Amino acid sequence: MENLLTVEKLNVIYGKGAEAVHAVKEVTFHIKPGEIFGLVGESGCGKSSLGKAIIRITDPTSGTIDFKGIDVASLKGKALKTYRQEVQMVFQDPYGSLNPRMKVGHAIVDVLNVHKIGANTAERRERVTELFEAVGLNPAWAWRYPHEFSGGQRQRICIARALALNPDLVVADEPVSALDVSVQAEILELLQELREKRGLAFLFVSHDLAVVRNVCDRVAVMYDGEIVEMGGVEAVIDQPQHEYTQKLLSAVPAF
Ligand SMILES: Nc1ncnc2c1ncn2[C@@H]1O[C@H](COP(=O)(O)OP(=O)(O)OP(=O)(O)O)[C@@H](O)[C@H]1O
């Protein structure tokens, strides 16, 4: 099967000269269609910078990002807009990701409006209903405000919004770390269900090895901007080869 995303020798450097921060160093990996690919490492190791470069919120300094044969680094204008439909992001904080003054369904209708999806308001509202059902929420709740939902429900809403444009890849940056453990499990199940039903692939960014072991197919371990180890989750987590992975694992009581 061809890769959905291929990242080669990617570098992200913020600033210049003595002040420069080399956040991502020569990173190479790929994601297959429908794969849940984990990216783990401590705070500050460059995980978010890599995720943001892939969705082009941050510009890579050098290296290549190939998405379905498209050279992502060089995209501009309309082509960049189209790419941003196919690759979406879900963030850690479902509270901060929703406008408190906007009914949640309207937030999704807005996305559909911007991308000119659906012929009219009725069709867009119908799409909101479908998306709510897809993430396990009662569609009647779509016309409520964010404060009326729990943390887990808000994260489901953010996932529904990310699905609105039918992406092939979702970059999920610590999507469950702000949630209670029991709610985390429900959201992880939802991500797996979306992968099975829609063939959606995820770059799943997390500092939590237990969560990664649970949900990912393969994982890359990042340390100081570099990928130091990569492979199937069982192999990497059960038999870590790199000293840093061993150190990360020894800090988790469950392993
Ligand atoms: N916009 C920026 N300008 C300058 N430096 C930045 C910027 N964003 C991140 N950095 C730096 O780049 C390095 C990597 O940060 P990044 O946020 O990618 O790591 P992370 O592993 O995602 O950490 P966290 O989990 O805390 O978000 C850090 O040293 C950080 O301070």
Q: Is residue 57 lining ligand 1, measured as CB closer than 6 Å?
A: no
Q: Which residue's CA is the nearest one to ligand 1's atom 16? A: 46
Q: Which residue's CA is the nearest one to ligand 1's atom 17? A: 48
Please answer whether residues 182 and 215 qualify as being in contact, where contact means their C-beta atoms are separated by less than 8 angstroms: no
Q: Is residue 21 lining ligand 1, measured as CB closer than 6 Å?
A: yes
What pLDDT score does 131 carry?
97
For residue 113, the CA-to-ligand 1 centroid distance in Å is 33
pTM beyond 0.90 = yes
- pLDDT tens-digit series, residues 128-180: 999 999 999 999 999 999 999 999 999 999 999 999 999 999 999 999 999 99
Which amino acid does the sequence have at 228?
A: V
Please answer whether residues 5 and 66 qualify as being in contact, where contact means their C-beta atoms are separated by less than 8 angstroms: yes
What torsion do the CA atoms of 234, 197, 89, 225 make, to the nearest 10 degrees? 20
Q: Is residue 47 lining ligand 1, measured as CB closer than 6 Å?
A: yes
Rg of the chain over Cα atoms, rounded to whole angstroms, equals 18
Q: Which residue's CA is the nearest one to ligand 1's atom 22? A: 48
ipTM surpassing 0.90:
yes
* 117 band by pLDDT with thresholds 50, 70 and 90: confident
